[in-house]
Amino acid sequence: MRRRLCYRAGLMVQQGNAPHHSQAPVSMSACNAPTSLLVSRNTKEETMQAPAPAVLDDLKELEDRIASDVAAAGDEAALENLRVAALGKKGSVSERMKSLGTMSPEERKTMGPALNGLKVRVGELIAERRTALAAEALTQRLAAETVDVTLEPQAADVTEGRIHPISQVMDELIAIFADLGFEIAEGPDIETDDLNFTKLNFPEGHPARDEHDTFFLPERADGTRRVLRTHTSPVQIRTMLSKKPPIRIIAPGRTYRCDSDQTHTPMFHQVEGLVIDESAHVGHLKWVLQEFCKAFFEVDDASMRFRASYFPFTEPSYEVDIRCKRTHNGIELGTGDDWLEILGSGMVHPNVLRNCGLDPDVYQGFAWGMGIDRIAMLKYGMPDLRAFFDGDVRWLKHYGFAPLDRPSLAGGLSR
């Protein structure tokens, strides 16, 4: 049997005496076709069906490079630059997406999914890196803002603010008298003539009611004139008018008088105390003031003397002096052979009790008052009252107190 083999596109065709059902007839012209022509046709068909391996390798290399850059991005700004460089209008992936329009239908069938897949994967890489950067930033912020609440408060720096001596002394007064069972009472700075003078037993024509000593406001339609209170005694009147005995209060606050020199200012601070009940007497007054002076000036003994004086709202009235020693460095309180006046006091005048609706045959009481600025000067060695109100930061740094150093009898009034 004679056989002839023809090769056409890799297919072997057998001719000869083979049965018709085993092999389709093949034209001799096909067997005699040039080999180069057959190979050329086969190569063209394969090129139209799939992109060249070099193109796919280029996409893989591009994806690896973008992935490496995204992983190395250290912040949101760098990551955004990478996104624009890859997926922006003129980005490397976007430019390749534009080339799909120049490809044949067969090429687009393969390159389209490849480029779209690349675009999706790059977007996912950038999104994952953005989430990781946000988590890292939050972790760093939480670490930086952590506060250890178990640590003791650090000493405040002077640049962070200082407590004014007046505020400090007010807090000290409140701590002492609160421990003795007194309440804190307050009232307005602008008062009526009745509460500031009349109900306190000031007679008409008293020098305190003159304009050279008191700040009067303009006359009102009814002919009355309000005043800037000259003491905090109106708070005592308001308390007796609104509250039934027993009464134990202190009234710290601002007061105003027409006076200005080294030891006087038009606006200053006072604290007054009042006790009203059925059995209060001078012995109680002396004890309260002595306990206050020992606590406030932080001395073991505070020898005091009471000198007879006159105030319209008390009877009898006393000027109170404390023992002291004068040295070239200042005044030492509680010791020595000298005396220093620090406050005024007395038993509440019966007329004041009547003006407030209290029966002086049933109730009696005592009161006292002192300048907060004055006792602050004595305790902390400040020579000039006017400096209290100058607003000089240097003065405040020197005489001021730490913000967290709140006075208390248990922890100490001052440092």
pLDDT digit string (tens) for 48-90?
A: 445 556 777 788 888 888 888 888 888 888 888 888 888 888 8
The answer to whether residue 14 scores a pLDDT higher than 70 is no
pLDDT at 59: 81
| pLDDT one-digit tens code per residue, 323-374 | 988 888 778 888 888 999 999 999 999 999 999 999 999 999 999 999 999 9
What would the two tokens of residue 5 be? 């083999």
Quick one: pLDDT band at residue 21, thresholds 50, 70, 90? very low
Q: What tens digit of pLDDT does each residue of 144-195 get?
A: 887 777 767 666 565 568 889 999 999 999 999 999 999 999 999 999 989 9
pLDDT value at residue 24: 45
Helical spans, DSSP H, in 76-164: 76-87, 92-98, 105-144
Instruction: Tell me the per-residue pLDDT of 364-399, one tens digit each, with 9 for 90 and over.
Output: 999 999 999 999 998 888 888 888 888 888 898 888
Architecture of domain 165-399: 2-Layer Sandwich (3.30)
Cβ-Cβ contacts under 8 Å for 394 (sequence gap 6 or more):
none
Q: Say what the pLDDT of residue 282 is.
A: 95
Give me the pLDDT at residue 212, please: 66
CA distance 245 to 236: 12
- Residue 135 and residue 349: Cα distance in Å, rounded? 75
Break the chain into its structural domains and give their ranges.
1-49, 51-143, 165-399
pLDDT value of residue 263: 67
pLDDT at 34 over 60: no
The confidence score (pLDDT) of residue 188 equals 95
| pTM above threshold 0.85 | no
Q: Is the peptide bond before 316 cis (omega within 30 degrees of 0)?
A: yes
Over residues 203-255, the pLDDT tens digits come to 887 777 776 678 989 988 888 889 999 999 999 999 999 999 999 999 999 99
Closest CA to 296 of 204, 413, 410, 124: 413
Instruction: Measure the CA angle with vertex 169, ends 168 and 172; round to 5°.
Output: 90
Angle (CA) 11-15-16 rounded to 5° is 160
Range name among 74-83, 93-102, 128-137, 378-387 with the lowest pLDDT average: 93-102
On average, the pLDDT of the chain sits at: 82
